[in-house]
């Protein structure tokens, strides 16, 4: 799909970009609880989009919808559409495993397999049917995340023996090895020290040359440092007392931070709530 969509939500609908993925009236429930209300937005190809907003506004809920990871939560129900390559990912005949191969995920807490560094890359690739020269794939993937020089002499060591920042880069290498189109990251640096965080941030910027990146961050400075576009979400109390999340404003990052259209956004980015 390569049609240009305009930013959906904003009053300023004068920008357009090459959209790789979009949601249409996406609402998410846990049982009867509405967690995220009616989100329609486009994600630009080979750009970095940050999702920001106070805790509980549905950032993780949204990002998990984008590769059907919410399927793994029994009570979770999704209304609306997520369109990728002209197909609704929630349509029938869509294989969620296939979806997750094209749209990878990196989590807040680095979660390498309890296997060797080598196997962390090779195992995931093999079970996804990739039959490359594994040595070459392992080396290339580790180089892409800047980890090769640090681990090339200990590829048999357990992935769990690495430092936090190295583990997270291993998880990113594992995602990259599947040759995804889009990489989702849910607060990928929030468990890391400042030096590892800055390594991850520059890695994310390198990765956008090849991949579309969608990153949840509670750190506004991080959004300004890495993201081309930023979507601000907030949570509001409904008449029934349900606190649901919704998209307030979505634009180029510099607009969101320097020239927001919504008062709520202005309050949030200037640190007056959340
Ligand atoms: N597995 C779950 N079961 C029930 N409620 C959930 C679950 N995950 C999240 N929620 C609720 O959905 C809302 C949005 O949560 P979440 O997406 O985690 O927000 P954020 O990532 O922005 O902090 C919150 O009210 C949260 O308590
Ligand atoms: Mg979250």
Q: What is the pLDDT of residues 125-184, one digit of tens each?
A: 998 888 889 999 999 999 999 999 999 999 999 999 999 999 999 999 999 999 999 999
Pocket test for ligand 1, best of 29, 53, 61, 62 (most atoms within 8 A of CB): 61
The CB density around residue 271, as the number of other CB atoms within 10 Å, is 8
State how far the Cα of 209 lies from the Cα of 21, in Å rounded to an integer. 17
Residues 54, 55, 58, CA angle at the centre, nearest 5°? 95
State how far the Cα of 149 lies from the Cα of 109, in Å rounded to an integer. 23
* pLDDT tens-place string over residues 246-263: 999 999 999 999 999 999
pLDDT of residue 15: 54
Pocket test for ligand 1, best of 50, 52, 58, 74 (most atoms within 8 A of CB): 58
* pLDDT at residue 4 is higher than 80: no
Q: What are phi and psi of 42, to 5 degrees?
A: -110, 140
* pLDDT at residue 10 is higher than 60: no
Q: Does residue 122 contact residue 149 with C-beta atoms inside 8 Å?
A: no
The CB density around residue 261, as the number of other CB atoms within 10 Å, is 16
Q: Does residue 91 contact residue 170 with C-beta atoms inside 8 Å?
A: no
Ordered by start, the domain boundaries in the chain are 3-269
Per CATH, which fold does 3-269 belong to?
Rossmann fold (3.40.50)
Which residues contact ligand 1 via a Cβ below 6 A?
30, 35, 55-61, 73, 75, 245
Place of tokens 């329609």: 40
Residue nearest to atom 5 of ligand 1 (CA): 30
Residue nearest to atom 27 of ligand 1 (CA): 56
pTM of the model: 0.93
């Amino acid at each position: 799909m390569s049609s240009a969509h305009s930013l959906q939500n904003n009053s300023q609908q004068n920008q357009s970009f090459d959209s790789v993925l979009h949601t249409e009236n996406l609402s998410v429930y846990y049982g009867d609880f509405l967690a995220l209300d009616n989100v329609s937005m486009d994600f630009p190809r080979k750009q970095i989009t940050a999702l920001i907003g106070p805790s509980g506004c549905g950032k993780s809920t949204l990002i998990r919808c984008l590769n059907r990871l919410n399927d793994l939560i029994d009570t979770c129900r999704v209304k609306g559409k997520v369109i990728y390559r002209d197909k609704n990912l929630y349509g029938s005949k869509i294989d969620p495993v296939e979806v997750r191969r094209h749209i990878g995920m990196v989590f807040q807490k680095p979660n390498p397999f309890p296997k060797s560094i080598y196997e962390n890359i090779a195992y995931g690739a093999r079970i996804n049917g990739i039959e490359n020269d594994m040595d070459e794939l392992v080396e290339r993937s580790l180089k892409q995340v800047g980890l090769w020089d640090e681990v090339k002499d200990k590829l048999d060591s357990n992935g769990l023996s690495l430092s936090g920042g190295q583990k997270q880069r291993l998880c990113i290498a594992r995602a990259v090895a599947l040759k995804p189109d889009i990489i989702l990251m849910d607060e990928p640096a929030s468990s890391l020290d400042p030096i590892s965080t800055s390594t991850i941030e520059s890695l994310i910027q390198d990765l956008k040359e090849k991949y579309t990146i969608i990153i949840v961050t509670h750190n506004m400075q991080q959004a300004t440092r890495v993201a081309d576009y930023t979507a601000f979400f907030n949570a509001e109390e409904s008449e029934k007392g349900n606190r649901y999340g919704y998209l307030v404003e979505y634009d180029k990052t510099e607009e969101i931070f320097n020239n927001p259209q919504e008062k709520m956004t202005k309050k949030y980015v200037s640190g007056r709530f959340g």
